[in-house]
Amino acid sequence: MVRNAGHRAGPVAGSGPVWALGCMSGTSLDGVDAAMVLTDGQRILDFGPTAFRPYSAGERAVLAAALGLWPGDPGVAAAAEVVEIAHCELLSRFSGADLVGFHGQTLAHDPQGGRTHQAGDGEVLARALDLPVVWDFRSADMRMGGQGAPLAPFYHFACAGRIGATAPLAFLNLGGVGNLTFVDPARSAPEAPGALLAFDTGPANAPVNDLMQARRGLAQDEGGALAAGGAVDDAVLEAFLDHPFFWKMPPKSLDRNAFHALFDRVAGLADADAAATLTAACAAAVARGMEHLPARPARMLVGGGGRHNATLMGMLAARLPGIAVEPVEAAGLDGDMLEAQAFAFLAVRALHGLPTSCPGTTGVAAAVGGARISRPA
């Protein structure tokens, strides 16, 4: 259920706080998250209601068939329609929002080629919801030479302020792909030199989810139960870590299917062993990514669906001795909604002309903001 936020939508102008409604449909293809945040684009002043709308099996099949495709390719229009309908259904349950931050569904991401593709049209949502919609967050960054991802780090910086952090810490998101953010909360702003370093670590839930779907008709390895009973294939893991991505200096980002060969390498393994190996690959990729951080944080806050996987969390803790690996709930945050909240926050930053990425997060030439803003007729 979504509760009423208890306020009326007001005009979106100036630089003061507004209630923003953000949404995120991740590469794990499980569904759409939506969350409201009261923010001026710099501080998190309050959290509002949240909701989740799962994709049906049929919708997931349409989206999965469109992965890797670009605008105009067969199947893309059908995927965009699924995304738009699902988002409109979910977002229409909310009241009191001043604007919407709409990420869309990433179907393809090619940072080396300077292009990215998120299905879904913000104009459609603006008309349907009768609200301004901020969308197409990645293109401006990529036009200036950035990777276009990850974009949540500026929100992570605000979260560090919200929880009163004073020492450097790490945020880890475990969705379809893993991404890591190093935050130094002592810096004056997220775009300040040294405030943030962020990058994709490697595959996270996507290979395991694909395995479970292909072999057992299930969306995921619930709690890591199957992986817990399997044995890791060290040869597969070693070959995985030889991938050139792990030697590349950050910032860097990935497409969901960049490591599809990993899925192929476990084809001959029993289900439990394959799940254990794919889960270990995620943890090993994160540990390898930690080697790039400017300092070793004492705390890692984990968001995304992967934090519910006890086997994965245990593997992370084993590979990161001396670091408290905790779900973000340990700091009073909502790990299911962190990325939806991030796009609410980024929407307000874009509206106020503030940067949403910087050299330390995407490798862009300079701090840059920018997104499309579609207003209802």
**For residue 150, cis peptide bond before it (omega within 30 degrees of 0):** yes
Are residues 137 and 275 part of one domain? no
Neighbours of 212 (CB within 10 A): 21
In a domain, 159, yes or no: no
Q: 107: Cβ–Cβ under 8 A, 6 or more apart, which residues?
A: 63, 66, 67, 68, 69, 70, 76, 79, 117, 118, 119
pLDDT, tens digit, for every residue of 264-321? 999 999 999 999 999 999 999 999 999 999 999 999 999 988 999 999 999 999 999 9
Q: 253: Cβ–Cβ under 8 A, 6 or more apart, which residues?
A: 109, 111, 147, 148, 149, 150, 179, 199, 200, 362
| Cα dist from 249 to 64, 128, 292, whole Å | 30, 43, 7
The ranges of the chain with pLDDT < 50 are 1-11
Spatial CA neighbour of 36 closest among 85, 127, 98, 105: 98
Are residues 194 and 119 part of one domain? no
In a domain, 12, yes or no: no
List the structure tokens of 246: 């792990």
Distance CA 60, CA 66 (A): 10
> What DSSP designation does 79 have?
H
Neighbours of 145 (CB within 10 A): 15
Are residues 200 and 301 part of one domain? yes
Are residues 203 and 61 part of one domain? no
Count CA atoms within 13 Å of residue 315 on its CB side.
27
Are residues 73 and 208 part of one domain? no
Distance CA 366, CA 141 (A): 9
Are residues 129 and 86 part of one domain? yes
Are residues 198 and 52 part of one domain? no
Q: What is the pLDDT of residue 219?
A: 87
Q: What is the pLDDT of residue 111?
A: 87
Are residues 194 and 90 part of one domain? no
CB burial of residue 57 (10 Å; 0-12, 13-18, 19+): exposed
In a domain, 265, yes or no: yes
Rounded to the nearest 5°, which phi and psi values hold at 48?
Answer: -105, -160
Distance CA 25, CA 29 (A): 7
Sign (positive/negative) of CA torsion 206, 208, 211, 216? negative
In a domain, 97, yes or no: yes
Q: What is the pLDDT of residue 3?
A: 29
> What DSSP designation does 368 have?
B
Are residues 317 and 177 part of one domain? yes
Are residues 241 and 118 part of one domain? no
In a domain, 302, yes or no: yes
List the structure tokens of 289: 């990514």
Count CA atoms within 13 Å of residue 112 on its CB side.
5
Task: Give the count of domains, the chain.
Answer: 2
Are residues 233 and 200 part of one domain? yes
Distance CA 105, CA 77 (A): 12
Q: What is the pLDDT of residue 9?
A: 40
Spatial CA neighbour of 325 closest among 304, 309, 307: 307
| Cα dist from 269 to 28, 30, 232, 243, 273, whole Å | 23, 25, 10, 21, 6
CB 263 within 8 A of CB 176: no
In a domain, 300, yes or no: yes
In a domain, 341, yes or no: no
| Placement of tokens 């395991």 in the chain | 208
Are residues 208 and 168 part of one domain? yes
Mean pLDDT, the chain, whole residue set: 93
Q: What is the pLDDT of residue 12?
A: 56
| Placement of tokens 């593997």 in the chain | 315
Task: Please report, for the domain that includes residue 322, its CATH number.
Answer: 3.30.420.40
Neighbours of 288 (CB within 10 A): 17
The strand ranges marked E within the chain are: 18-25, 31-39, 44-54, 99-110, 115-119, 133-135, 169-174, 177-183, 196-203, 299-303, 324-327, 372-374
Distance CA 246, CA 289 (A): 7
In a domain, 327, yes or no: yes
Q: Which domain holds residue 266?
A: 164-331
